[in-house]
Amino acid sequence: MTALEDRLRNELSELAALAQPESIRPLRDSAPRRRSVRARFLAPVAAMAAVAAVAIASAVIASKLPHPGAPVPSAPEMVHTNTVPRFYVLAEQSFVDGGRTMVTKAAVHSSATGDTLSQATLPTLLSNGGYYSPSITAAANDRTFVVMETNLTSSNSIVWLFRLQLSASGRSIKVTRLPVHVPSTMAIDNVALSPDGSRLAMTTQWDCGQSRCQDAGIRVVNLATGAVTTWSTHANGAPFNGSWVGANAVAFEWQPNTGRGTGYRVLPLSKAPADLLTASQPIASPRAVSTGYVPAALVTPDGKNVITSEVVPFTHLFVVHGATARIVELNARTGRLERVLYTASANGQSDMLVQSCNVLSLGPDGQHPLVDCFSKLGALVNGQIVSMPGFPSASSSGISGQQAIAW
């Protein structure tokens, strides 16, 4: 064992020893359903937000997250709904039948009013003790979405993919399980649907069949034919956070094993499959805010800009005491700052703070980032985060590991 491993073991043991049998809190009554102390405090706020989330008349989307005693932010400028995606989809895992049955529901909401226009219950993989969480990605035509369900068991992973095809009004939804085979030894970080909805890009890792050997790459699946094209690499690292750049390129975050040199790259799909790193080119990347962690970034459909967040923590003796965040638009080629889209700050002693401001989705035209930043989930409109009408739902105080949202 190395000195580093020894030190890590010792520090973790010291930290864990702070929880002693006589000092830790006993379990509390579990009915009604209890949340964390802070989340419980926020539950009424979330409920109010769900009820009061302002749904704007037919032509506008603008709302705010009310909080008793908090200053009411000024309303963002009105935005005509024809400039924002008409629908957003919320996929949510929940229990029914007294907790005996787990279901995943996908609901189509009007972006303007929050109304649930249609919903579907997806076939659900049994948890069997593994992780289980849905993830979702949206096509750029505003009418097609893909939901990925993953069940990781002790020996393998099972992935199901569903395509949700909306009618023009959004009031009917056709669900199709995609015939995409994912090997059980393959782990998928995320999937991204091409702008025309015909192809799916996956950032993946898989065992290469030998001890201490792990391959990684981008798989692009033609959803009409099932044909798979893979750009893989043996290099020590893996791609994450894939997204489409126009119709013929995929952007991804490359994370090397060393934690150094993390950055975004663009893979042109017109090139023949080759080594992932050879075939792709680096682009402007968000600044790493901590070891090995780079905020999510999405490239606009024209490939010219990168929308990402920059979080700067305030630390003292390695402890985070707060942070400021900016959501920015960078020039993809030069990395130059083009625009600051949003700024926020937060206080709190948590290392997680630096990972709490992210761009989730850009919308079909790349102009309407859906973001989750320091407690606020919503659309970025004129420098403010506008709550999504209809979200948070009454059952949640924010997006959770059992929820996924996209537009």
Partner 1 sequence: MDRSGEPDDLAPLTSALRRGEGRADAGVSVAELFRAHHLELVRLALVMVGDVATAEDVVQDCFERLHRRWNVIREPGRALAYARSSVLNGCRSVHRRSAISRRYGPKLAQAADASVPDAASAMADRGQLAAALRQLPRRQREVLVLRYYADLSVAEIVETLGISAGSVRAYMSRGLAALAAVIGEEK
Closest distance between partner 1 and the C-beta of residue 125, in Å? 11
From the list 164-172, 207-215, 329-337, 380-388, the region that binds partner 1 by CB under 8 A is 207-215
From the list 27-35, 53-61, 79-87, 162-170, the region that binds partner 1 by CB under 8 A is 27-35
| Separation CA 218–CA 236 (nearest Å) | 15
Beta-bridge mates of residue 339: 329
| Separation CA 253–CA 276 (nearest Å) | 12
- Residue located via tokens 């080629």: 333
| Separation CA 136–CA 134 (nearest Å) | 7
Query: Maximum distance among all alpha carbons in the chain?
Result: 65
Binding flag, residue 213, partner 1 (CB under 8 A): yes
Closest distance between partner 1 and the C-beta of residue 2, in Å? 8
Binding flag, residue 185, partner 1 (CB under 8 A): yes
Binding flag, residue 72, partner 1 (CB under 8 A): no
Which CB sits closer to partner 1, 130 or 268?
130
| Separation CA 268–CA 238 (nearest Å) | 18
Which CB sits closer to partner 1, 46 or 117?
46
**Token duo for residue 331:** 């020039």
Q: Which of 74, 99, 224, 272 binds partner 1 (CB under 8 A)?
A: 99
Binding flag, residue 4, partner 1 (CB under 8 A): yes
| Separation CA 223–CA 137 (nearest Å) | 15
Binding flag, residue 263, partner 1 (CB under 8 A): no
SS3 39: helix
Binding flag, residue 63, partner 1 (CB under 8 A): no
Chain positions 298 to 357 lying near partner 1, rule: CB under 8 A, are 317-319, 346-356
Chain positions 121 to 180 lying near partner 1, rule: CB under 8 A, are 126-131, 133, 152-155, 157
| Separation CA 242–CA 252 (nearest Å) | 4
Beta-bridge mates of residue 306: 299, 330
Q: Which of 121, 169, 176, 258 binds partner 1 (CB under 8 A)?
A: 258
Rounded alpha-carbon distances, angstroms, from residue 84 to 25, 26, 105, 233, 360? 47, 48, 24, 38, 15
- 296 with 361: CB under 8 angstroms? no
Binding flag, residue 386, partner 1 (CB under 8 A): no
Binding flag, residue 21, partner 1 (CB under 8 A): yes
Which CB sits closer to partner 1, 313 or 363?
313
Cis status, amide bond into 392, omega within 30 of 0: yes
From the list 73-81, 193-201, 222-230, 371-379, the region that binds partner 1 by CB under 8 A is 371-379
Binding flag, residue 293, partner 1 (CB under 8 A): yes
Number of residues that bind partner 1 (CB under 8 A): 101
- Residue located via tokens 């043991």: 13
| Separation CA 370–CA 381 (nearest Å) | 10
Which CB sits closer to partner 1, 87 or 240?
240
Which CB sits closer to partner 1, 20 or 225?
20
Q: Which of 71, 74, 100, 270 binds partner 1 (CB under 8 A)?
A: 100
Closest distance between partner 1 and the C-beta of residue 223, in Å? 27
Binding flag, residue 71, partner 1 (CB under 8 A): no
Closest distance between partner 1 and the C-beta of residue 234, in Å? 12
Closest distance between partner 1 and the C-beta of residue 238, in Å? 8
**Token duo for residue 400:** 């959770």
- DSSP string spanning 236-297? SEEEEEEEESTTSEEEEEEEETTSSS-EEEEEETTSPS--HHHH-EE---PPP-BTTB---E
| Separation CA 22–CA 215 (nearest Å) | 47
Which CB sits closer to partner 1, 21 or 82?
21
From the list 36-44, 79-87, 223-231, 298-306, the region that binds partner 1 by CB under 8 A is 36-44
Binding flag, residue 34, partner 1 (CB under 8 A): yes
